[in-house]
Amino acid sequence: MEARKETYEFKTEVQQMLHLIINSLYSNRDIFLRELISNASDAIDKLRFKAQTDPELLGDDTEFNIEIITDPENRTIEIADNGIGMTRDEVMENIGTIAKSGTAAFLEALEQAQKQESLTPELIGQFGVGFYSAFIVAEKVTLITRAAGADKAVKWESAGDGAYTIEEAEKPSRGTRIILKLKAGEEGDKDYTQEWVIRNIVKQHSDFVSYPIRMEVEKDEPIPEAEQEKDQDGKPVGETTRKVSATDTLNSMKAIWMQSKNDVSEDEYKEFYKHLSHDWNDPLTHIHLKLEGITEYSALLYIPASAPFDLFFPERKHGIQLYCKRVFIMDDCKELVPEYLRFIKGVVDAPDLNLNVSREILQQDLLVRNIRKNLVKKVLDLLRGMSDEEYEKFYAEFGQVLKEGFHSDWENKDRLADLIQYKTTRSEDKFVRLKDYVARMKPGQEEIYYITGDNLSMLINSPHLEALKAKEYEVLLMTDPVDEWVVQSLTEYDGKTLKSAEKGDLRLDDAADDTKKEEYSGLFEFIRGQLEEKIKEVKPSSHLKDSVACLSGDAHDMSAYMEKLLKSSGGQVPQSKRVLELNTGHPVVGKINALFEKDKENPALKDYSHLLLDMAIISEGGKIDNPSKFNRLIGDLMSNMLSE
Ligand SMILES: Nc1ncnc2c1ncn2[C@@H]1O[C@H](COP(=O)(O)OP(=O)(O)OP(=O)(O)O)[C@@H](O)[C@H]1O
């Protein structure tokens, strides 16, 4: 490694981040300490995990701790740990850049919010500012770190002004020291070099960190008898105690997940969540479980109040930490909750787990599989038991993710079905759960109707729903891409079939459909011939009441929305022809039929065939092949009508 001091520019996203932090988090300054302590605790966790397979890494430095050292004269505060440390490359990667995908888009949104003066600490806190929060209080940050197993240390330094330096350094043992040169501060600001200030912040935000957070403090010590000054009567003169310096542990290290619910306060639950999640906001709710018996475990799980910006990025971390009898085993434990519950944060402590368990065997571990099964059930029950108000909040943030469960968790399909909700044609912008839908089905209605698409107002006005609306049958309006997968696996609820309002025959009026089919068979065959490339069938519509035409598919065909989704994701979409449905109750269809019966060669019939198809495409928000021809034909028709 080079001994030289090198200067680097921060990546743009780091500069943006620092700018946002420094300018918007001044009134939340205290949290810098929580963030740095959390990082220190994570670094020790990582080392312990690695040491399970490589015990040499620990050497004789086996007493893990986090140290806080203040220097009021020089106005510095240092947070030091004997965790995993970082190599030079790791420092460059972790501290000079923000590696999370989606960062640029998120920061852009934050900047916009700042311009509109709507940037709240909650918004930026959602991103997890972590290490960079040091710059809220510091005018200069120095990081000296030595990776476990390495013999050289690295020093990183920055004044948060766009650049940082990096050079080789001395450090006698493994771990990381972060030294903050505090800003001058304003009148009345807290002084972070004062013992009581640090004590209070640690107590409030980091009490349950599982390693001792130590600080040199001044204590009163009784002066030994022999050293005391005494008067003639043997009574002490002056002070009987003196100030001495001693190391004190500031946190209680309570593993709150192992405690009984009654012994944990609401505030403690909230603070523990913030420590775990690096989220600044309070969680929406939590669940604290203790299961005894064959599958024994304790768990403290949280549902965040808002979705993290990277919820849909595949490489994002899961939020569950695994412990065994209070000993940290691993974080990011994907095996304990399925993908569709990836928003959950928390701790699971399984006392019977093999301490040397690796990620690879975790998946097959029967105990882990049982815990997972049980946790899923508990979480879904928690969701079901939420008040309507709380559930609305949850659903707005995580409903989309929850629905992914239909695809992957066959076993809990029924539980999930009780949790999904949709706006409907009759719900006036409110969400309706399936059980409420079923409860208010009309007499004679046997199926649950739904329609999928990306636009609520277009769906609600879709011509496909006209016949259903006339019968006052409610239709679920599904606007999430994931809903296409929901309806593929959820084919039934409470004994009622889920039926697409867009595809297949609705069979609302069977007898009438059959007589119309015969009456119009000649014309429909003619139109099919004209539109052969696009249409596989022309038939009397079971969907339409007021409109003239719409497109539909057979019950097993792909929906128009699914086709659109696949196309937009670049997938290969098999060319499927649609069915053109015509409203035989509409006068225009009757008139075209009369024209056809009179003169099958009439050239207008060809134009009308194309026009009918274009009208159907437009009504579902699609693009027609030849808009200028459509324009001309409509123009001709209008002019004929106006000249009559
Ligand atoms: N004390 C430390 N010891 C070792 N590595 C550290 C330490 N502090 C930070 N790091 C490394 O720097 C990375 C970035 O830290 P930062 O606090 O910015 O984000 P994070 O902790 O990964 O995420 P977030 O705070 O958003 O949850 C960490 O992931 C870790 O790899």
The answer to which of 182-191, 526-535, 603-612 has the lowest mean pLDDT is 182-191
Report which of residues 288 and 240 the model is more confident about: 288
If pLDDT is split at 50, 70 and 90, which confidence band does 418 have?
very high
Ligand 1 touching residue 83 (CB < 6 A): yes
If pLDDT is split at 50, 70 and 90, which confidence band does 511 have?
low
Q: What is the pLDDT of residue 88?
A: 95
**Binding site listing:** 35, 39, 81, 86, 94, 100-102, 126-131, 176, 359
Our CA dihedral for 492, 495, 500, 505, rounded to 10 degrees, sits at 130
If pLDDT is split at 50, 70 and 90, which confidence band does 125 have?
low
The answer to which of 274-278, 572-576, 591-595 has the lowest mean pLDDT is 572-576
Q: What is the pLDDT of residue 576?
A: 77
The answer to which of 103-112, 168-177, 252-261 has the lowest mean pLDDT is 103-112
- pLDDT over 80 (residue 572): no
In CATH terms, are 256-393 and 420-500 the same topology?
no
Reported as type and span, the H/E element at residue 594 is helix 587-598
- List the domain boundaries for the chain: 5-112+119-221+241-249, 256-393, 420-500, 513-555+568-642
Report which of residues 338 and 553 the model is more confident about: 338
Q: Per-residue pLDDT tens for 18-46?
A: 888 888 787 788 889 988 998 999 999 99
What does CATH list as the number for 513-555+568-642?
1.20.120.790
- Count of beta carbons in the 10 Å neighbourhood of residue 243: 10
Q: What is the DSSP string of 305-324?
A: SS--TTTT-TTPPPEEEEEE
Report which of residues 411 and 504 the model is more confident about: 411
Centre of ligand 1 to C-alpha 132, Å, is 9
If pLDDT is split at 50, 70 and 90, which confidence band does 101 have?
low
Ligand 1 touching residue 39 (CB < 6 A): yes
Ligand 1 touching residue 176 (CB < 6 A): yes
ipTM given for this complex: 0.97
Fold of 5-112+119-221+241-249: Heat Shock Protein 90 (3.30.565)
Ligand 1 touching residue 130 (CB < 6 A): yes
Query: Is 359 strand, coil or helix?
Result: helix
Helix axes 266-277, 195-205, angle to 10 degrees: 90
Query: What atom in ligand 1 is closest to the CA of residue 278?
Result: 27
Helical residues (DSSP H) of 385-496, grouped into ranges: 388-402, 405-408, 413-417, 434-439, 456-460, 466-470, 483-489
Give the CATH architecture of domain 256-393: 2-Layer Sandwich (3.30)
**What is the rounded CA–CA span in Å between residue 7 and residue 158?**
10
Q: What is the pLDDT of residue 290?
A: 93
- Count of beta carbons in the 10 Å neighbourhood of residue 224: 8
Ligand 1 touching residue 308 (CB < 6 A): no
Beta bridge partners, 497, equal 492
Query: What atom in ligand 1 is closest to the CA of residue 40?
Result: 1
- pLDDT over 70 (residue 2): no
Tell me: domain 420-500, CATH 3.40.50.11260, correct? yes
